[in-house]
Structure 1
Amino acid sequence: MKTFTALFAAATLALGANVALAKDVQPDQVVKLVQSQQIQSLDVLKQKALEQHSGSTVTDSELEEEYGRYIYKVELRDAQNVEWDVDLDAKTGEVLKNERDS
């Protein structure tokens, strides 16, 4: 039982550490990042996300910094009312995740 408790505690701490490493980027900082060309404009990134699912609309979006990398997270709803999570590298526009929301 002690082994199970120790494993559970370690897993919880590891998960908590990963969550703590992602932080939201504030709007004033977004402007500076775009102006310094550290990231693409959010309009361009949003369009790239929309291209993944024709006829979809954006329901939510946010820019986060994870492990020193800026990730633009977009939630979409397609014409069939299916929700999608699309993550893009905010500097390159590369699609990092494109998954159906569960």
Structure 2
Amino acid sequence: MLALARPVRYLALCLLAVSSLAVGRDLDQDEALELRHRGIIVPLERLLEAALGRYPGARLLEAELEQEHGRYEYEVEILTPQGVVREIKFDAATGALLKDEEDD
């Protein structure tokens, strides 16, 4: 019984490590500012204009910078004039649109 506990515990730790990498992490404003100054990410303002331009009259609800899947991503949530919340993701390094979908 004791011999089985060690492999199970090891497997649980491995799964926890992998799942934490998949989830990613939010960056604080100091980290974001440093990345912007170093030219690693594009300015958030540019991508906010692009997100709001997709839905004229929309309002910004939230914007955050995340490190996910080995890259930096901006996640922007907006409220359209029709009352629909949309989640829009951009590659923070290139500004490329990654996702635009209705948020649950």
Bin of the TM-score, shorter chain as denominator length: 0.7 to 0.9
- TM superposition outliers: structure 1 runs of 4+ over 4 Å: none
Q: TM-score, normalised by structure 1?
A: 0.78
**1:101: which partner in 2?**
103
More displaced, 82-91 or 41-50?
41-50
**2:85: which partner in 1?**
83
* 8 Å CA contact 1:48, 1:93 repeated in 2: no
Structure with the higher helix share, 1 or 2: 2
The letter of the residue matching 1:90 is: A
* 8 Å CA contact 1:49, 1:88 repeated in 2: no
Unaligned runs of 5+ in 1: 1-12
Q: Deviation per CA, 1:8-62, whole angstroms, max 9, x where unpaired?
A: xxxxx58x71675410111111111111110011111111111221211110111
Identity of aligned residues (%): 35
**1:27: which partner in 2?**
29
Q: Secondary structure at the match of 1:91?
A: coil
Q: TM-score, normalised by structure 2?
A: 0.77
User: Is residue 56 from structure 1 mapped to residue 58 from structure 2 by the alignment?
Assistant: yes
Cα distance in 2 for residues equivalent to 1:32 and 1:26: 10
- How well do the aligned residues superpose, as a CA RMSD in angstroms? 2.1
**1:92: which partner in 2?**
94
The higher radius of gyration belongs to 2
The letter of the residue matching 1:99 is: E
